Amino acid sequence: MFEALAERLQQVFRGLGRHGKLRPEDVDAALNEIRLALLDADVHYQVVDDLLERVRSRALSEEVSRALNPGQQVIRILHAGLVEALGEPGRLSLKGPTPRPVLLVGLQGSGKTTTAAKLARWLRSRGERVAMIAADPYRPAAGQQLALLGSEIHVPVFHQPGLSATEACAAGLEAAAKGGASVVLIDSAGRSQLDDEMMAEVEAITQRVQPVETLLVADAMTGQEAVHVADGFKARVRLTGLILTKMDGDARGGAAISMRSVTGVPIKFIGTGEARDALEPFEPERLATRILGMGDVVGLIEKAQEAFDQGEAQAAAERLMKGDFSLEDFGEQLAQVRKMGPVAQILEMMPGGLAGAARHVDGEAADRQLRRTQAILSSMTRDERRSPDVLNGSRKRRIAAGSGTSVQEVNQLLRQYQQMRKLYKQVGKRGLGGLGLLPR
Ligand code: GDP
Ligand code: MG
């Protein structure tokens, strides 16, 4: 999903990452690229303008973060802007006397029937007793499709060819009441485009059954067209929510960003595939993350910033610059890493290739290793950590015994530390900006 968009955005962020600070000209250059990428993904231009205006003023007014590089900082701000544009997570409001009618409307092919079945499963898993009504009097096959899906998931379907849509709804509700259903999903008839007859029918059903929810099912792959359809429906019926289907396709996808801003109707679910369980309650945070195409890099960035103690790091950075990196600093860095969470989780949150690598890493072993390393460090005296050169054979044996490890492991740790010190010395000569993730 959103792959093309995500890729373009990543390129923008990479460009930003090379400089040391967020300068207005860098922000503007990045925002121009982001604008083009969003317009290409078929996001409504007005929505793009509003979003970028907010991102720009935040990016320029925010204090330059010492924990994040400029690319990461813009990602965080853009992510927050996207979350705002996507709106609150919409929840179903199922109140009133049972059975509670939930009406699904939308164009033909948008995914209404498929979504009805997915939603039925989802509601049932939350303890609802669900029934469905086929309310498409024009295409008998449509009713059969729903009946078949219903039998596969063991949800009763009212399907009686020959009845008008409103008659089917009334009779179906009655049957559902007798059957003890708490929620009834109504699969209405769609048309290939917005037309008056379809709207009139939806209005008639609404009057007859007074649905507690009227959900527009819209095909996210159609981009702006989906926004146009939502506007058309909204003019005639009181939509209480949107379900965006086919969010698994990577084409366009800008509809998701525009839908909420343009229509004001909350997105309640997204469909992510043809399978029966490919329906997710809409989570703006998660979707914004996917749009940026960065695994949960945003979560990672947030954690990094939380874990980052500015004062501590500043002092350590100054020592590093002088090539004066003690085992104490080494230990502190390990502690920072551990504050971010289990190793596997950290890798999982990395973009693209690294997220894949997480599968090949034994996270538990890595965490165990980290814990052992910390045990060794805490078995040393403060002086030993500050001047590791004093560590002779007998001290090493004492440390190994104290930490429940071996002299071999203590030596291994010392080798790692020496390598790291060498690295920092080199970096120190060139400036810390050389390492993207380190404090500047
Ligand atoms: P309706 O005419 O609105 O009832 O649409 P259908 O439920 O019959 O769905 C039309 C087509 O879209 C079917 O081939 C579905 O399998 C497919 N479809 C529905 N939802 C999704 C989705 O979230 N992802 C994908 N990839 N396909 C979907
Ligand atoms: Mg259908």
Stretch 234-256: mean pLDDT, rounded? 84
pLDDT exceeds cutoff 80 at 52:
yes
pLDDT exceeds cutoff 90 at 144:
yes
pLDDT exceeds cutoff 50 at 433:
no
Q: Which residue has the higher pLDDT, 107 or 425?
A: 107
Most confident of 33-37, 278-282, 413-417, 432-436: 278-282
Q: Residue 435: what pLDDT?
A: 42
Q: CATH top-level class for 3-86?
A: mainly alpha
pLDDT exceeds cutoff 60 at 398:
yes
Q: Residue 296: what pLDDT?
A: 54
- CA distance linking residue 404 with residue 248, whole number of Å: 50
Q: Which of 232, 294, 282 is nearest to 257 (CA)?
A: 282
pLDDT exceeds cutoff 60 at 37:
yes
Confidence of residue 188 (pLDDT cuts 50, 70, 90): very high
Q: Which one of 107, 233, 250, 274 would you pick to mutate in the ligand 1 pocket, going by the greatest count of ligand atoms within 8 A of its CB? A: 274
pLDDT exceeds cutoff 90 at 114:
yes
Q: Confirm or reject: Cβ of 271 under 6 Å from ligand 1.
A: yes
Strand 267-271 and strand 279-281: pairing?
A: antiparallel
Stretch 369-385: mean pLDDT, rounded? 86
Confidence of residue 3 (pLDDT cuts 50, 70, 90): low
pLDDT exceeds cutoff 90 at 397:
yes
pLDDT exceeds cutoff 60 at 321:
no
Which ligand sits closest to the CA of 107?
Answer: 1
Residues less than 5 Å from ion ligand 2, measured at CB = 112-113, 142
Q: Helices 407-430 and 393-403: crossing angle, nearest 10°?
A: 110
Confidence of residue 30 (pLDDT cuts 50, 70, 90): confident
pLDDT exceeds cutoff 80 at 319:
no
Q: Could you identify the atom of ligand 1 that is nearest to the CA of residue 118? A: 20
Looking at the chain, the whole-number percentage of residues with pLDDT higher than 90 is: 37
> Token pair of 136, please?
């498409």
pLDDT exceeds cutoff 60 at 298:
no
Q: Confirm or reject: Cβ of 190 under 6 Å from ligand 1.
A: yes
Q: Residue 357: what pLDDT?
A: 54
Confidence of residue 434 (pLDDT cuts 50, 70, 90): very low
Q: Could you identify the atom of ligand 1 that is nearest to the CA of residue 110? A: 3
Q: Residue 356: what pLDDT?
A: 54
Q: Residue 193: what pLDDT?
A: 81
- CA distance linking residue 139 with residue 165, whole number of Å: 11
3-class SS of residue 379: coil
Q: Residue 342: what pLDDT?
A: 62
Confidence of residue 68 (pLDDT cuts 50, 70, 90): low
pLDDT exceeds cutoff 70 at 439:
no
User: Which of the following CATH numbers is that of domain 100-288: 3.40.50.300, 3.40.50.620, 1.50.10.20, 1.10.357.10?
Assistant: 3.40.50.300
Q: Which residue has the higher pLDDT, 385 or 3?
A: 385
* 288 neighbors 71 (Cβ within 8 angstroms): no
Q: Residue 437: what pLDDT?
A: 40
Instruction: Judge: domain 300-435, CATH 2.170.190.11.
Output: no
Query: What is the Å distance from ligand 2's center to 109 Cα?
Result: 7
- CA distance linking residue 303 with residue 313, whole number of Å: 15
pLDDT exceeds cutoff 70 at 359:
no
Q: Residue 396: what pLDDT?
A: 94
Q: Residue 426: what pLDDT?
A: 65
H or E element, residue 216: strand 213-219
Q: Residue 431: what pLDDT?
A: 46
Q: Residue 42: what pLDDT?
A: 80
Cα Rg of the chain (Å, integer): 29
Q: Confirm or reject: Cβ of 245 under 6 Å from ligand 1.
A: yes
The 10s digit of each residue's pLDDT in 328-357 is 877 777 776 666 666 655 555 554 444 555
Mean pLDDT estimate for the chain: 81
Confidence of residue 56 (pLDDT cuts 50, 70, 90): confident
Of the candidate ranges 53-62, 322-331, 380-389, 426-435, the one whose mean pLDDT is the lowest = 426-435
Query: What is the Å distance from ligand 1's center to 317 Cα?
Result: 55
pLDDT exceeds cutoff 80 at 308:
no
Most confident of 42-46, 124-128, 412-416, 432-436: 124-128
Q: Confirm or reject: Cβ of 109 under 6 Å from ligand 1.
A: yes
| CATH 3.40.50.300 domain residues, the chain | 100-288
| CATH 1.10.260.30 domain residues, the chain | 300-435
| CATH 1.20.120.140 domain residues, the chain | 3-86
Of the candidate ranges 62-66, 111-115, 192-196, the one whose mean pLDDT is the lowest = 62-66
DSSP 85-132: HH-SPP-----SSSSEEEEEE--TTSSHHHHHHHHHHHHHHTT--EEE
